[in-house]
């Protein structure tokens, strides 16, 4: 339910924040996707694009070599970087740090997730109330939040998850002990995806 208009079009969001049976507040862990699909910061653009398409997701967390979330990358980031002027016009991306180079002119070794990701990532814990996560998404105009418990990536909560929760759609039972699914070692031989 929207009330008021702000920078993101919403000043206040009210979610009936109760869990099953209406007894306890809904938490991020009640609606998040897990295990998380993520890429390493050294993953090539092409690897990221393939994974997004293969998993039918629009973005994912980016992790460093220790598995800490260092950013988020989306199909919009890739489309903006890899597309021509018409794609950029269609996206009308508003970024504080626009891509200054034409990706085609970048050496292949530098076309990595870390060059496009939004960093630092906004994150939540699995026990964060869902309405707080929704407010964070609206406040920062973002579509997904990595879910981190004790420094470990355990899932991702998206605007779609929040909407499904508001619509009282069922969510699969998840196991928070499942490790994140990581791709993008950046070890491909130089001509593999040129």
pTM: 0.69
Under the banding of pLDDT at 50, 70 and 90, the label for residue 39 is: very high
Kindly report, residue by residue over 118-176, the tens digit of the pLDDT. 999 999 999 999 999 999 999 999 999 999 999 899 999 999 888 888 776 555 556 66
Strand partners, 61: 72
Q: What is the mean pLDDT of residues 3-26?
A: 47
Structure tokens at 186: 């950046």
pLDDT at position 183 over 80: no
Residue with tokens 């295990």: 35
Under the banding of pLDDT at 50, 70 and 90, the label for residue 26 is: confident
pLDDT at position 14 over 80: no
> What is the per-residue pLDDT for 171?
55
Structure tokens at 76: 């919009």
Can you tell me the distance from the alpha carbon of 20 to that of 79, in angstroms, rounded to the nearest whole number?
Answer: 39
The proportion of the chain whose per-residue pLDDT surpasses 90, expressed as a percent, equals: 39
- Number of CB atoms found within 10 A of residue 33's CB: 18
> What is the per-residue pLDDT for 6?
40
> What is the per-residue pLDDT for 124?
96
The proportion of the chain whose per-residue pLDDT surpasses 70, expressed as a percent, equals: 63
pLDDT at position 84 over 90: no
> What is the per-residue pLDDT for 165?
82
> What is the per-residue pLDDT for 137?
94
> What is the per-residue pLDDT for 97?
44
> What is the per-residue pLDDT for 182?
76
Can you tell me the distance from the alpha carbon of 73 to that of 177, in angstroms, rounded to the nearest whole number?
Answer: 24
3-state SS string for 82-130: HCCHHHHHHHCCCCCCCCCCCHHHCCHHHCEHHHHCECCCCCECCCCEH
Kindly report, residue by residue over 103-116, the tens digit of the pLDDT. 556 666 678 899 88
> What is the per-residue pLDDT for 144?
95
Look at 184 and 5; give whichever has higher pLDDT.
184
Residue with tokens 């499904």: 164
H or E element in which residue 14 lies: none
Q: What is each CA distance from 59 to 63, 77, 144, in whole angstroms?
A: 13, 9, 8
Structure tokens at 182: 């990581």
Choosing among 3.40.50.620, 3.30.505.10, 3.30.565.10, 3.10.580.10, the CATH entry for 16-183 is 3.10.580.10
pLDDT at position 101 over 70: no
- Give the domain ranges of the chain: 16-183
């Amino acid at each position: 339910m929207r009330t008021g208009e702000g920078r993101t079009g919403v000043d206040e969001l009210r979610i009936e924040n109760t869990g099953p049976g209406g007894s306890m507040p809904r938490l991020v862990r009640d609606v998040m996707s897990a295990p998380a699909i993520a890429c390493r910061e050294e993953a090539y653009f092409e690897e990221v694009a393939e994974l997004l398409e293969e998993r039918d997701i629009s973005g994912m967390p980016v992790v460093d070599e220790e598995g800490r979330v260092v950013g988020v990358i989306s199909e919009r980031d890739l489309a903006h970087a890899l597309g021509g002027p018409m794609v950029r016009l269609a996206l009308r991306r508003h970024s504080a740090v626009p891509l200054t180079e034409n990706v085609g002119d970048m050496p292949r070794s530098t076309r990595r997730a870390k060059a496009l990701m939004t960093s630092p990532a906004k994150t939540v814990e699995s026990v964060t109330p869902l309405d707080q996560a929704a407010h964070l998404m609206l406040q920062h105009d973002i579509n997904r939040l990595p879910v981190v418990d004790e420094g470990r990536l355990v899932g991702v909560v998206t605007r779609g998850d929040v909407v499904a929760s508001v619509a009282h759609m069922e969510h699969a039972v998840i196991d928070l002990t499942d490790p994140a699914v990581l791709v993008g070692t950046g070890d491909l031989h130089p001509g593999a995806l040129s």
